[in-house]
Amino acid sequence: MDLQRYSDHIEARRRVNDQVLQANSLVEIEAAKQVLRDWLKAHPDEQGMRDGFEQLYTIQEIIEDEDARRAAGEVIPPVRSERERILDQARDARTEAENQWAAYELWDWLRRNPADADVRKEYERFDFVLDIAEEQDAERTHESRQPVEAGQAA
């Protein structure tokens, strides 16, 4: 596969993933399922894309459950916006994995909303936090590789 075809393939795959991740209504979910089916038919070797169905079925169950609860007269509080969720996730991140995921979510939001100054500020803070974590990891790795000197307890 030449570089341009590979690049086009990756971009098309990203668009499919974006459609799956952004589906938040029953109509959007059905459309995303069809896009996934088409993708898997055209790319049967990419079975990892099947994970998108799990995401879609989970969201579909939540929507159908909320619709049933509303029909029964239950008042359901509004869902936080995607932006609020991302900022909360960033503020609550504690572990390295949580920090990395939050940084990715912030980056992805900024890719789609480049003028959002508050999210950009949070992202820059995360970039700094991740740089410090990488430095600490490098120091720990370096220290663990140091030979134990004769006479020193291990």
DSSP string, 86-103: HHHHHHH--SHHHHHHHH
Residues 6+ positions from 101 with CB-CB distance below 8 Å:
89, 93
From CA 152, how far away is CA 139, in angstroms rounded?
A: 20
pLDDT digits (tens, 9 = 90+) for 133-151: 566 656 666 555 555 555 5
Query: From the CB of residue 64, how many other CB atoms can be counted at a distance below 10 Å?
Result: 11
| 37-73: pLDDT as tens digits | 999 999 999 888 888 898 899 889 988 998 898 899 9
d(CA 117, CA 142): 38
Indicate the domain borders of the chain. Answer: 3-71, 82-144
